[in-house]
Amino acid sequence: MFFQSLDTLIAKAQQGNKRAWLKLVKQHETQVYNYCLRMLSHPDDAMDLMQEVFISVYKSLPSFRGDCSFNTWLYQIVHRRSVEYYRRRKHHQSLDALPEEACERSEIEANQQQSQQHNELKSMMNNLPWEQRLVVELKFFQHCTFEEIAEQLGISTNTAKSRLYSALGKLKVHLEAVDG
C-alpha cells in the first residue's frame, strides 16, 4: 500500500470514495477523540461527540475548498460541535444526571414515604381525644379559622384554640418518642 497525500485523500473523499474517507477518519480520529475528551472529561461523551464531528465533516466535506488547511477546518467543526454538545448536555443535565430508573425509584420511594407518613399521622390522630382530633382536622386539613371552628362545633374560639394546642402538644410528645 502506498502513501497518499492528505490533499489526494480529501479530493477522493469529496468524490465519494469510501476507502479515502475511512483513511481520512483513521488519520484524525485519535486527535479528535482526545480533543473531545479534554473538552467533556468523559470517555462516552467524547466518543459520542467524535461521531457527531465526523458526521458533520462527512456532510460538509464537499464544501471544503482548501482556503485553510484541512486540520484548521476540521478543528473549527470540532470546536463548534463541542460547544453545541456542551450546551445540550448542560440544558438536559438536570434530567440526565439521574438515570431514568433512579428517577422512577425516587418517585416510588417518595410516594411510599408519603404514604407511610400519612399512615403515621392517622395513627397519631387516632390517639387523640375526639374533640381534639376534630379541631386538628378542621384547622389543618379543612383550613378553617378558629372562628369557623368555634361556630361549626358550637364552642368558643378560646376553647377551639385550647383543644388545638393541647392536641399539638400530644402529637409533639408522640413524634419525639418515635424519633427517639
- Using one digit for the tens of pLDDT, what is the confidence trace for 53-78? 999 999 999 999 888 889 889 988 98
Is this structure's pTM higher than 0.75?
A: no
The CATH number of the structural domain formed by 115-179 is 1.10.10.10
Give which of 65, 39, 67, 68 is closest to 53, Cα–Cα: 39
Provide the residue count of the chain. 180
Q: Which residue has the higher pLDDT, 117 or 172?
A: 172
CATH class of 6-96: mainly alpha
CA atoms within 13 A on the CB side of 128: 26
Helix residue ranges per DSSP H, 69-156: 70-96, 100-126, 130-136, 146-153
**pLDDT of 98 over the 50 cut:** no
Domain residue ranges of the chain, discontinuous segments joined by +: 6-96, 115-179
Distance, in Å, from the CA atom of 32 to the CA atom of 121, rounded to the nearest integer, reads 59
Residue 58 C-alpha cell reads as 462527512
Q: How confident is the model at residue 27 (pLDDT cuts 50, 70, 90)?
A: very high
State yes or no: pLDDT of 15 exceeds 60: yes
